Amino acid sequence: MGEVSVALVRRETIHKLNLKYRGKDSPTDVLSFGIDGPYGEMVGEIVICPGVASSEMGIEELVVHGALHLSGMDHGEDFEESEMAAVQGAVLRDVGGGG
């Protein structure tokens, strides 16, 4: 287990990050960046833009969503979007955040 940092940023910042790292010229609600390092140290960063996030998705959900990406899940290649949503809901229920 290691540390994950969570950064809350403005629309302009997440737009630039999304363009630089994903080639998508638009803002997004959450991005995840894995960091390779020794066991027990920083494993990743989750960047959240509350201004882009839907009113239905709270910060807790976005953190879990980002953490699932850090763990290797996606929605489109290896996992169906519904599979990721199901895991996300289960994690939120387990930690008491709804879902």
* 24 lies in some domain: yes
CA-to-CA distance for 10 and 21, rounded, in angstroms? 17
Q: Given this model, what pLDDT does residue 86 score?
A: 81
Per-residue CA distances from 5 to 1, 47, 65, 74 (Å): 13, 8, 14, 20
Tens of pLDDT, residues 17-74? 999 999 999 999 999 998 876 666 778 999 999 988 876 678 888 888 888 888 888 7
Q: Given this model, what pLDDT does residue 30 score?
A: 92
DSSP string, 43-67: EEEEEE-TTTS-TTS-HHHHHHHHH
* 99 lies in some domain: no
Which residues belong to the annotated binding site?
Answer: 65, 69, 75
Q: Given this model, what pLDDT does residue 42 score?
A: 74
Domain extent at residue 26: 3-94
Which residues belong to the annotated binding site for Zn(2+)?
Answer: 65, 69, 75
CATH of the domain at 80: 3.40.390.30
| Count of domains for the chain | 1
- The larger pLDDT score, comparing residue 53 to residue 13, is at 13
